[in-house]
A = this chain, B = another copy of it.
């Protein structure tokens, strides 16, 4: 048994073993948590159980997620990044409303393809968020933060055309309309297509007013 442990040379873009292990631990925690939430519910699952299934100590959980709720929203950051990127990549001739519509579309696409990480967790997450008050509160908080960041980004994208207040009002109106409409309607319809349709109708209501902004 000889030389099979040559020194690894890290070229740019290459990640070391440490980093890879971290990603694996993170994934293990996410999967463990989601499976357990699915099997026995959010409240009924303890952190000790999650950590045990992921084979780490309870303490370690908190170096990956700030709270038990947070593990459910593991991809919220990348989602926001996506929206902000869509905003930054605007075409010079694009109107504000077109841009906003495109952001809505990009977000929905993201839900549909779920490139980010595996599973059909989208449905599970939706069920959990709709069911568990703690998760609902966390979701609203994250969404709100995203709105603020989007509003600032929008204002910076159109500094001459939109004031900060107008940007915030636009983002708030659009997302607020979609959010409340979708949730209010959620007890009736079920298919993803219907939900997306509801969202679009709500967005239209909100956007009609935003067109006056130019």
Contacts and interface: CB of A to CB of B under 8 A. Distances in A.
A16 interface: no
Interface string A88-115: 0000000000000000000000000000
A164 interface: yes
Interface residues of A, number: 44
A180 B184 contact: no
B185 A165 contact: yes
Contacts of A137: 137-138, 140-141
Interface in A130-172: 133, 136-138, 140-141, 144, 147-148, 151-152, 164-172
Contacts of A177: 168-170, 172-173, 176
A97 B201 CA distance: 18
B140 A165 contact: no
B140 A202 contact: no
B213 A205 contact: yes
